[in-house]
Structures are given as C-alpha cells and as structure tokens.
Amino acid sequence: MSIIAEMPMDLYQTLLRPLLFSGLKTDPEWLHQQSLKLLGWLDDSSANQMPWVLTQLERSLSLSDPRLQQQLWGLNFANPMGLAAGFDKDGIAAGLWSRFGFGFAELGTVTLHTQPGNPQPRLFRLPLDQAVLNRMGFNNQGAAALAERLREKEKGKRKKDAENLTPHSALCTSHFSPFPLGINLGKSKITSLEESATDYVGSFRSLKDLGDYFVVNVSSPNTPGLRSLQDKAQLEPILQALQQENVAHKPLLVKIAPDLEWEAIADVIALAQQHQLAGIIATNTTIQRNGLQTERLSTGNPVAQEAGGISGAPVRQRSTEVIRFIYQETKGQLPIIGVGGIFTAEDAWEKITAGASLVQVYTGWVYEGPWMVRRVLEGLLQKLDEQGLKSIQDAVGIGSDAVPSL
C-alpha cells in the first residue's frame, strides 16, 4: 500500500490499471472484493501496528484547504468529494476512507435481511465508454451485521484513545470516523413492495445511531420492482414511516434514477419538501444503452440484452441536468448530492455549479485511480481562483440558469 501511495499518478493509468483491467483477466467483482479485504485489514490493524502507512496514504492522496469546506445538516465536510454507495456495502473499510482524500463516504446499500444478490457474473467494465455495468442486486450482509461492525470499530477507536490517553471527542456521530459517514438503505428482495416501509424502517432502526446521514435508495434497477417505489403513492408511506422513526432528526435523503421524467422528479421534490427531507441524491445508474461504443460484454451477449445499470461517463450529462432541474425547482433550498460520471475537476465543477453542494464518485475513481480525489480538489481550487470565488459554497448553483434538455 505504501508503494501505491508513492507511485506517480500517471503510472496507475498507464501500468497498473491496464494490468488490473485486462492483463490479469480477473473477474472485476473478485478483484473488488480482494481490494476491500486488504483495505479492511488495513483499517483494523494499521492504526496500532503500521501508523506510517496511514500517514503516507494521507500525505499522498489528501488535500486540505479551508476554501473546500462545506457545512450541511450540522455536519462538517472537509471537502465536497465523497465516495458513493456501492463500493463499501458492509462498512469493511469504513474508518479508512478519509485517508484517501474523501470529504465523506456513503456505506451500503444495506438491506434489512442478508442477501447474496443476483447470479454472477454481475459486474462488467466498459472501458471504451469509461463505464461500468452492474447488476449486483444489493448483495450485503444485512443491517444488523453492519451495525455490529460499526460498533466494533467504535469500540476499537475508544480503546486506542484510552491507550494513548487521547480525549475521545467525536466530530460526527460515527465516533471512529473523522468525517461524515452516510448509510444507504435499500429494500430486501424477499420483502414485498407492500411491506417496503416496514423493511426500510427496520434497517434504519438498527443503524440510526451509527450514521451521520441516511439515504433511501428507491432507484437501483437491480431489485425487481424497486424503481416503482419512486412513484409518489409508493414513496410517501416509506418517507412518512422513516421520519416517524427518526426522532433524532438525522438527515434523511432520497436517491433517484436518471431515467425519471421531469414530472416524476417534480413529484419526488414535492414529497421531499413535504416530509422535510434533508436533500436528494442525483443520480443512480441508468438503464439506457444509447450511444455506447461497447457492443458485447464478456458473456458474449450484446450490451443491450444484458440487465443492469450503467454508471460512469454515459450518465454524466443526464445527472447534471437532473441536478440543475432540482436546484431550479427548489430555488436552491434543498441540498443536492451530485453523482454520475465524475472523472475530472471539470466534471465535478459542472455538477457543483448546476446546484450540487456535494458530489460523489465511484466509477471515475476506479478508472482514474486513488490520486483522483486530490487532482479534482486541486482543479476545484483553480476554478475558484479563476472565478474569483472565496469558497466552494459560493460556486453552488451559479450555473443553474441553463435549461435542462427535455
């Protein structure tokens, strides 16, 4: 890991990425799981045994500047770049993500019941399109297991503080983490659509003391019927039940699909305002296949015949349009987390100026490598200088006047 921390950033794209993507001919999901195991071991052991590894990681990959700081929902974000849900579903490396330069991270998607997800293979890279197709199906160990893991990490942090005679003070409710951790909630596959509200509330009840904000995921295309929960009649009882359980007033957001019509997005906005949600995440993966250069997957089948959602560059423009629409409709009063196709500082700047207070990455981080966050943050600072702005907050929504493509 220290070797990676010191590696010039261009070597990842010219040497390491080609080796990982094609040279080793490994299944992308297997490689992801092995990487998570390594990061989980590092998260659990290095604080006591190898603190120099964390120091090298942070020094190489992080960038601190007060102009990048954001304050939302009573939480302090050192910068607007977050790790999107889906990368660390079970919180394996939950205490480590700040070392990679992120300003926050979102765990999950987690469901009330443990579930294996969809049959493999279910994760495919589309390098010609700078994209990923996944049909994972919310594979995770369940809400109770995530809660237990996060509590164990908190205990470990308290023990370390006691051994080092360090006063324990939490910046966030997730005490082991130096930055905000969100938790993304999904519906269990075995739960009927009619019982969705009970399912979401069950997960939230197990985790509500362990996350700094929570996300209602009703937009993944990989659980049968889930996207229908974005419909006003089905989403409203879910939000109502969660807010009734949410006595501590944790920030609650909803994550929507890029494929919704404007009228449907307007309905979600109205519900978010009615039920006092903290914000909207725009957007999830797309089921559209238009304009892809990749013709066939490793299965041998045409991409158009393969189920799953596509992330990365193909969703970039649409997600930005959705962000702009939400910002315009709410007059900037409902915070937005923008996600979809961010690879460069320009991509992040477009989403921020369209109306996103925070942004998230996943596919772009896989393609660009661990130095991506620092490089994007450096680019954002340059954008602030060029525009004569004092902070990233000043940039939110300044380009929202453009009309979304209908």
The catalytic residue positions are 220
- Given a contact cutoff of 8 angstroms between Cβ atoms, the answer to whether 92 and 36 are in contact is yes
For helices 262-274 and 316-330, the axis angle rounded to 10 degrees is: 50
Q: Decide if 310 contacts 131 (C-beta within 8 A).
A: yes
| Distance (Å, whole) CA 392 – CA 383 | 9
Give me the sign of the Cα torsion angle 59, 60, 65, 68: negative
How many C-beta neighbours within 10 Å does residue 248 have? 8
Residue 202 main-chain phi, psi, to 5 deg: -60, -45
Distances (CA, A) of 201 to 112, 245, 279, 281: 9, 7, 18, 19
Are the C-beta atoms of residues 356 and 336 closer than 8 Å to each other?
Answer: yes
76 burial (CB, 10 Å; 0-12 / 13-18 / 19+) is middle
